[in-house]
């Protein structure tokens, strides 16, 4: 729920605000470095290039005092909430999770000092950080049934109604939380003036957005949180994909290059190879591997593959032939 690290920040800002990864980090950098407030330069958030998931005890105490004073005892857990995230390799955990430097600086108060994009991101960080120390929301599972008077037609909808909003006082339910919220209804007659008759078909998986792409890179162990923004920037700036309605759609150039690499350099674009190379780099950092040996093995294999590719007179790429 809270914004723990930079990859979470990039994913959340993309899905909630429509910000790209590079744009998010640029705005966060400005909030971290400091904003001019009444003649003083004040940093509004903690270090944003962290992979840490912990919040300092002093900050948690400030959060709890603020929750009690602003929202009441019902929203304050008896004990502070603790979160443990998935430990990433080579993670920068010397810094705590991303949070406001002073929770008393509310987004409403900071609005006059910040630009439109800055206040949006600050509000996101502030509300997520504070809500992480609030009581969880409570739901009642319900099924709404609407039947015709002759009992021939019956319509059902299952979901939940909010019994206690808890942390939802500050944040909305994420799209990926699969919690269908139903309205509060009472028994009685229903007047239906119009019915919408729709037929639904099974849809293919949606194309990647920036948020879902970052999430997938994390799952596959490819790259580092610090490299996600540059990866996405390369895909867009070099014309490999167009972003339409916040989704990536491959261009002809992207399709051609992908087919070319899969045909002649399949080993190097394999997820397992990339993740394995990341592990080797980790081993070099920890002293378990010699960097010269790793580079020598990589280069000798790549050189052999490149020479083999040069010997190809032409390459058939799904109906297209490159000579």
Q: What is the pLDDT along the chain (323 residues), one digit of tens a residue?
A: 556 678 888 888 988 898 888 899 999 999 999 999 988 899 999 988 877 778 889 999 999 999 999 999 999 999 988 876 555 454 445 578 899 999 999 999 999 999 999 999 999 999 999 999 999 888 888 888 888 888 888 888 888 888 898 998 888 765 544 567 888 788 888 777 777 778 888 888 889 988 888 888 888 888 777 788 888 888 988 999 998 988 999 999 999 988 888 888 888 888 888 888 878 888 888 888 899 998 998 888 888 888 877 766 555 555 555 54
**DSSP helix/strand/coil, 320:** strand
Q: Say which of 32, 47, 240, 304 is annotated catalytic.
A: 47
**Packing angle between helix 21-33 and helix 6-17, nearest 10 degrees?**
110
Catalytic: 47? yes
Q: Do the Cβ atoms of 6 and 48 come closer than 8 Å?
A: yes
pLDDT of residue 322: 54
Q: Which helix (H) or strand (E) holds 238?
A: none
pTM of the full predicted structure? Answer: 0.70
Both tokens of residue 298? 């990589």
How high is the pLDDT of residue 312?
65
Phi-psi region of 18 (alpha: psi -120 to 50; beta: other; left: phi over 0): left
pLDDT at 149: 81
pLDDT attached to residue 176: 47
């Amino acid at each position: 729920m809270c914004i723990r690290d930079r990859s979470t920040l990039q994913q959340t800002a993309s899905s909630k605000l429509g910000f790209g990864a590079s744009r998010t980090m640029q705005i966060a950098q400005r909030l971290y470095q400091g904003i001019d407030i009444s003649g003083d330069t004040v940093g509004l958030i903690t270090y944003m290039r962290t992979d840490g998931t912990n919040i300092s005890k002093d900050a948690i105490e400030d959060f709890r005092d603020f929750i009690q004073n602003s929202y009441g005892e019902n929203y304050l857990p008896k004990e502070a909430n603790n979160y443990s995230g998935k430990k990433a390799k080579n993670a920068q955990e010397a810094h705590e999770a991303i949070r406001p430097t002073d929770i008393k600086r509310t987004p409403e108060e900071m609005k006059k000092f910040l630009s439109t994009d800055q206040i949006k991101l600050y509000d996101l960080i502030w509300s997520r950080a504070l809500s992480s120390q609030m009581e969880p929301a409570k739901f009642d599972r319900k099924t709404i049934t609407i039947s015709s008077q002759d009992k021939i037609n019956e319509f059902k909808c299952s979901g939940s109604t909010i019994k206690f909003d808890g942390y939802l006082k500050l944040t909305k339910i994420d799209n990926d939380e699969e919690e269908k919220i139903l309205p509060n209804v009472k028994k009685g007659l229903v007047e239906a003036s119009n019915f919408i008759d729709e037929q639904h078909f099974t849809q293919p998986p949606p194309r990647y957005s920036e948020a879902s792409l970052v999430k997938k890179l994390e799952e596959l162990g490819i790259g580092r949180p610090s490299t996600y923004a540059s990866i996405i920037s390369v895909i867009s700036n070099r014309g490999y994909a167009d972003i339409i309605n916040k989704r990536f759609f491959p261009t002809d150039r992207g399709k051609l290059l992908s087919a070319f690499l899969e045909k002649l350099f399949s080993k190097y674009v394999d997820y397992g190879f990339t993740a394995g190379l990341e592990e080797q780099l980790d081993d070099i950092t920890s002293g378990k591997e010699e960097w010269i040996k790793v580079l020598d093995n990589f280069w000798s294999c790549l050189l052999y593959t490149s020479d083999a590719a040069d010997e190809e007179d032409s390459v058939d790429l799904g109906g297209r032939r490159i000579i």
